Amino acid sequence: MTGALTLLYGMPITRIVALTRSDLTGGSPPHLRIGEHPVALPPAVHQLLQRQADPTEPISAVGRITPRPSWLIPGYAAGTHHSAPALARKMRLHGLPARPSRNTALLALAADLPASVLSDTLGISISAALQWTRRAARDWNSYLAVLSGDVGDTRAGFLNG
């Protein structure tokens, strides 16, 4: 679940561990509130999150039923969420290093979305969104130069080199 949210939406682990059950909404399509706005979830990711949100009733060591935690990923101590470093360690064990996974997702999203939409949707600052869109900017200048020049040999050289 953590890997899916990191790879799809570029969410930092510190934000993933702070998600609550109220951040997940049903409906068609289901949504997850990441920043200010709810973001549509793919069905498979929604199923993962829903399974995480609906655990069995927790029972304490002395046999009393304890209230369900509001955190989507509850911690070991009552009333706390899971630790970000521990979750990052689990991701690495599964071959998903957190920072490169998040950077890849943000780069892919920045290639498709304007900075303002990226900022609003993911809850990142506008300056961070602008930096990601600059990094993701595709340089079409060499391609346009090839098209305006000799189409025959130059295009073949561009595609091969």
pLDDT band at 158, cuts 50/70/90?
Answer: very low
Q: What's the pLDDT tens digit per position in 28-41?
A: 889 998 877 788 89
Q: Which has the minimum average pLDDT: 12-21, 132-141, 150-159?
A: 150-159
Give the mean pLDDT of the chain. Answer: 80
Q: Of 32 and 152, which is predicted with more confidence? A: 32
Q: What's the pLDDT tens digit per position in 42-55?
A: 989 998 888 888 76
Q: Of 160 and 150, which is predicted with more confidence? A: 150
| pLDDT exceeds 60 at position 140 | no
CA distances from 39 to 29, 52, 83, 87, 115 (A): 9, 18, 24, 23, 16
Phi, psi of 55 (to 5 degrees): -75, 170
Per-residue pLDDT at 157: 45
| pLDDT exceeds 90 at position 80 | no
Do 45 and 4 contact (CB within 8 A), yes or no? yes
Find where tokens 């199923």 sit: 47
The rounded percent of the chain whose pLDDT value lies above 90 is 24
Do 49 and 41 contact (CB within 8 A), yes or no? yes
Per-residue pLDDT at 144: 61
Q: What's the chain's Rg over C-alpha atoms?
A: 21
d(CA 75, CA 86): 10
Q: What secondary structure does DSSP assign to 38-63, as a single string?
A: EEE--HHHHHHHHHHHSPPPPB-TTS
Q: Of 91 and 145, which is predicted with more confidence? A: 91
| pLDDT exceeds 80 at position 105 | yes
| pLDDT exceeds 90 at position 127 | yes
pTM: 0.72
